[in-house]
Structure 1
């Protein structure tokens, strides 16, 4: 697949998509020493998922004010557009944007939206936001995050999710936050089935009432669950390059996305935290084509599945659909 083939991405962490050079530049401006999070080539350096979380949060420490997020959003969307992405949904955390204070969160959100509007004019890419509670920060903080989401829900902020360390707590611990987000009209997703097994996917679906699962790939270990996901039409936000880089699967050919799709599950393709995993949407497409002999027809189907599962309003969906069919 070429760089320019139109793509729809549903699973992208804004801070996790920050180019290392961008973060180093911010650190230099602020006279912060975060050299320990980079390797000798200037890439992010970590050994496992849990150290990855620490490096991620250390990089985020350089993002101090709304203007930093404005610049970050422009940098991230430039990278996405270069890979052919025409519509993207990004995870945003009020934990990192104003400490879950609604007033401060509004300022950060305004800066991000302004940058998104600029990028849409400049690069033709449309961005929408999904507020994400951080699982390892605990259920009480997630309630504050959900209130930030509810206060700013609308045509741009369209979803609510849960990310972070899957080994901390259970999905049901966050049910209050998801209920609050649902009542505010937000669509729901949650990370599960990455470091937690298939039971984590089942629990997220049953206890949180989500319509999309972030990752979800370990559902393949329970074929009854796979069939249930297919029957319910629940969409998996699959990030193959991320799973492989973090050691969940040894290589592309062993990744379960192909088997999930063959069993009738609606799968989508995303990059998660692309510079951490040395990937882009174009590379994901290329590697999947090589691993499974997927042709243009398969990728067109995945793009349409992704757009149908997007949390945007119908006017936006129609506009993106026209570009997919060009």
Structure 2
């Protein structure tokens, strides 16, 4: 369905545009209604900001703000008590992406955050991959997993997770990441974990360039060998760095709504997507944590369309780049490109 825009052109339905989703965190993908239902089942008292004041007002401008964000995430994770809960979360995440035009999803998970309740990191990884296969079969959405280490934990823990990811490199795990507050810890200390993942042929996708600026992006490139950057949006502040990113073909997983919610930018018009595109960067829009930010995959395209007056050709280019930056099988990519062209035509 298309409607006329102010310039007499055509504004196509953004939910019908085929997309790959490359930046979605595991618990953060949960539906708000599911959070409320599972919490009520087990008598878990949720903070007001996850109930009537949802989505919460967040900021990560300082450590206190990030701590509040992380606390809400941990509370949400605590409602996942059984394998069926995990299966439900993965299936609903897949259903939501399909509803938003998703064709491929790379969901990110730190197994150590769930290990105590689900029998260890290997058992939980087995469970997640089984749920991913089931959800993919039921929805038709292509899916894979990125195992992510937590930068607030010891780098040796990250090496353990990298070896775990390597063991599953041909069984549904396609990448290795590094998440949590990028202002904490020393990124260079995680180089050993990324070398383990690199030897296994995994995609390297650490978070960088959101809460810290260009200097941290350089560290992610130089020390971790990043193929993709979780966020990376602040690369726009350094033209020489941005040119390097373009020349090296490093893709940026840009999550506009979360950038604004966490106080990185004051409003959606300040997210420098046009500058990134003008420089030739490969950008894949992602939702990050819909549970905490209140916006899913199609919402990122819709908000950037409105904030920057993007035409449909630019939206189609963004969708194409999301597949180019993915580890989706070639047949999925080819079909998506044909359908993107059809959407635009």
Shared fold by TM > 0.5? yes
**Deviation at 1:137?**
1.8
**Cα distance in structure 2, aligned partners of 1:61 and 1:319:** 39
**Cα distance in structure 2, aligned partners of 1:138 and 1:20:** 32
In the alignment, which residue of structure 2 is the partner of 1:60? 77
Deviates more, 1:282-291 or 1:237-246: 282-291
8 A contact 1:197–1:218 mirrored in 2: yes
**Cα distance in structure 1, aligned partners of 2:160 and 2:129:** 21
**Deviation at 1:237?**
0.5
**Deviation at 1:79?**
1.6
**Cα distance in structure 2, aligned partners of 1:223 and 1:217:** 12
**Deviation at 1:138?**
2.7
**Cα distance in structure 1, aligned partners of 2:340 and 2:265:** 31
RMSD of the TM alignment (CA)?
2.2
In the alignment, which residue of structure 2 is the partner of 1:2? 14
3-state SS of 2:305 partner: helix
8 A contact 1:10–1:270 mirrored in 2: yes
**Cα distance in structure 2, aligned partners of 1:96 and 1:322:** 39
| Structure 2 runs not aligned, ≥5 long | 1-12, 60-64
3-state SS of 1:260 partner: helix
**Deviation at 1:97?**
3.1
**Cα distance in structure 2, aligned partners of 1:118 and 1:154:** 17
Alignment of structure 1 residues 50-89 onto 2, 5 Å: 50-89=67-106
Alignment of structure 1 residues 81-100 onto 2, 5 Å: 81-99=98-116
Picking from 178, 199, 223, the partner of 2:215 is 199
3-state SS of 1:208 partner: coil
The answer to whether residue 168 in structure 2 is matched with residue 156 in structure 1 is no
Picking from 101, 112, 123, the partner of 2:128 is 112
Alignment of structure 1 residues 1-326 onto 2, 5 Å: 1-35=13-47, 38-44=50-56, 46-47=58-59, 48-99=65-116, 104-326=120-342
**Deviation at 1:41?**
4.1
8 A contact 1:66–1:107 mirrored in 2: no
Q: Are the structure 2 counterparts of residues 226 and 128 from structure 1 closer, same or farther at C-alpha, using a change threshold of 3 Å?
A: same
**Cα distance in structure 2, aligned partners of 1:323 and 1:110:** 33
State TM-score, norm by structure 1: 0.92
**Cα distance in structure 2, aligned partners of 1:168 and 1:206:** 18
Deviates more, 1:133-142 or 1:28-37: 28-37
**Cα distance in structure 2, aligned partners of 1:240 and 1:133:** 23
**Deviation at 1:46?**
4.4
**Deviation at 1:95?**
1.2
**Cα distance in structure 1, aligned partners of 2:167 and 2:284:** 29
Q: Are the structure 2 counterparts of residues 256 and 42 from structure 1 closer, same or farther at C-alpha, using a change threshold of 3 Å?
A: closer
**Cα distance in structure 1, aligned partners of 2:249 and 2:19:** 21
Q: Deviations over 1:223-280 (max 9, x none)?
A: 1111111111111010111101111111121111111111111111111111311212
**Cα distance in structure 2, aligned partners of 1:236 and 1:321:** 20
| Structure 1 runs not aligned, ≥5 long | none
8 A contact 1:244–1:251 mirrored in 2: yes
**Deviation at 1:36?**
5.1
8 A contact 1:166–1:196 mirrored in 2: yes
3-state SS of 2:15 partner: coil
Q: Are the structure 2 counterparts of residues 168 and 312 from structure 1 closer, same or farther at C-alpha, using a change threshold of 3 Å?
A: same
**Deviation at 1:283?**
1.7
